Amino acid sequence: MLKSLPTAHTPWRHTAGRFLALALVGTFALSACSGPGAAPSEVAAKEFTCDTQAASDADASLKLFTAAGTAEYAQSLSDAFMKKYPKITVKLQTEADNNYNTVLPRLLASDNPPDLAIPNDLIGAVKDGLVTNLDKCAAAFGWEKEIPSSVLAAGRVSGGGIGSGSLFQGGGASGPLVGVFYNRELAKRVGLEKIPTTVQEFEAALKSAKDAGITPIVASNADGLTGHLFNLLLGTYMGPQDLLNVVWRTPGATLDTPEAKEAAAVLEKWADAGYFNADANAINQDASYGQFASGQGLFLVSGTWVTQSLPKSFDGKYGIFPFPAKDAGSGQVSMTNNQLAMSIASRSKSKEAAALFLDFLSTPEAAAVASDAGYPSALNTAAGAGVTLDQNIGEQIQAGYATIAADNGFDNWLNNATPEVNTKMTEQLQSLLAGRTDANAMVSALQATYAASRDK
């Protein structure tokens, strides 16, 4: 190390100090009058009229943003679209599943945004002016006539809440079913003779698996994915509409209810009884798929998108049933999010072509692609005859979806209420599984986070 002369220090220090002081003063002066950031302006000055007449026959290139886990599905959709409109190219922009929500707002605000995406935080995206108002498209494409208003409601935003107002997300109507995947061979071994339709029957199945030395539920919780089960329980006990109100930030909606605590208490009871794999808190989703597919557990609670991720060699060896009802007199519920409804970036340079893509999403061709990917159509659900153990998984998904639709039981994930709630849930679920918190404390903590972040 060089030892510098003490005299050489003085002028350097002085000048550098002066520079630094100047820069600091400058910054504070700046910060005093102008804060960072402002809503990005729309690129096109002219109003978007959703007139796709010219776009169908013009060269255009669209960028579709997708999570890695659903990339295969997005590719199939794009291929079907490009077959119909050969002059328009659709390119995928893929991001890791757990980065999808993180990256999307920044991309939408950039100068080169993806044209199409499904923002989970739609309220935030609307507030920041990142997505295009689709009211004109709804009129032009006749969505209000074709698509049930309850499905369209998920794409409407007004006054910091979802459910009414202008439409910002549209297209067709197909989404995943979230339920209970089971290993057919292990189900036979623990003597599961029929699909459990009440929580009590399901609990009995969990116990018989545990007694037989089989892990009842394989879950990954390093990434907080026991959240799927928690959300199912919330919807089951609170009723789907009350959960939806929380997620959609309806005025007055709260999580601080006896029903929500009851739901959390069920999860706590199952955790205490050792119904989860011992390493749940240490593993991520891929590891849990691996354990489930290698027969290390009876159930996996997740959505039908995992059929795209489970190994092909496991096909035919597993099935799915919708989550059981609270009791014989209640309906069955499932979270879903429309995988055929998308938003158009407000900074997109090809909005008309993107609108054409949304129009395509409401066609039977698109619905067929969605169905193949495990997203049944909400438009023509056959009356649910119920799910049986001997159906193949495709039939079970259709029948399960129809069951929930018949019960009006679709809701959404509490995780989507606000970004902070999503982060908090992971931490809380890990604590609950390890017995470091209890059901009441968890619900209170989540409600506190929700209340603090919903009106920001």
Partner 1 sequence: MSTHIGTKDQAARTVRVQRRPGRRTFRFRRWAGWLFALPALAFYGFFNLRAILQSVQYSFYEWNGIGASTFVGLQNYIDVFTQPELLRPLINAFYLILFFTVIPVLFGLVAAATMRTMEGRFTGALARTLLFLPQIIPGAAAAVAWSWMYSNNGVINQVLRAVGLDSLTRAWLGDFDYALSAVGFIGTWLSTGLCTLLLISGIGKIDTALYEAARLDGANAVQQFLNVTVPGLRRELGVCVTVTIISALASFDVVYLATQGGPGGTTMVPGVQVYLLAFNDARLGAACALAVVLAVLIVAIIVPLQRLFQERES
Residues at the contact surface with partner 1, assessed by CB under 8 A: 1, 11, 15, 20, 23-24, 27-28, 30-31, 35-40, 101-102, 105-106, 109, 124, 127-130, 221-223, 278-283, 287, 419-420, 422-423, 426-428, 430-431, 433-434, 436-437, 453, 456
CB of 162 to partner 1, least distance (A): 17
SS3 content of the chain, % helix, strand, coil (to 5): 50, 15, 40
Beta bridge partners of 180: 301, 321
In whole angstroms, how close is the CB of 222 to partner 1 at the nearest point?
Answer: 6
Question: What secondary structure letter does DSSP report for 223?
Answer: T
Give 113's strand partners.
Answer: none
C-alpha to C-alpha distances, 118 to 104, 192, 332, 440, nearest whole angstrom: 9, 38, 26, 33
| Of residues 300, 279, 254, the one with CA closest to residue 449 | 254
259 with 233: CB under 8 angstroms? no
For partner 1, the closer CB: 203 or 223: 223
Dist. CA 10–CA 7, nearest whole Å: 6
Q: Which is nearer to partner 1, 10 or 53 (CB)?
A: 10
Residue 396 CB, nearest approach to partner 1 (Å):
30
CA-angle at 421, arms to 290 and 66, nearest 5°: 55
| Nearest to partner 1 of 105, 165 (CB atom) | 105
Q: Minimal distance in Å, beta carbon 105 to partner 1?
A: 5
DSSP 299-360: EEEEEGGGGGTS-GGGTTSEEEEEPPBSSTTS---EE---TTEEEEBTT-S-HHHHHHHHHH
Comparing CB distances to partner 1, the nearer of 156 and 347 is 347
- Please tell me the distance from the alpha carbon of residue 58 to that of residue 81, in angstroms, as a whole number: 14
Helices 419-433, 227-238: inter-axial angle, 10-degree rounding:
100
Q: How far is the CB of 212 from partner 1 (least distance, A)?
A: 20
Nearer Cβ to partner 1, position 230 or 410? 230
Residue number, 224 or 239, with CB nearest to partner 1? 224
Q: How far is the CB of 431 from partner 1 (least distance, A)?
A: 4
Min dist CB 440 to partner 1, Å, is 17
CB nearer to partner 1: pick between 31 and 408: 31
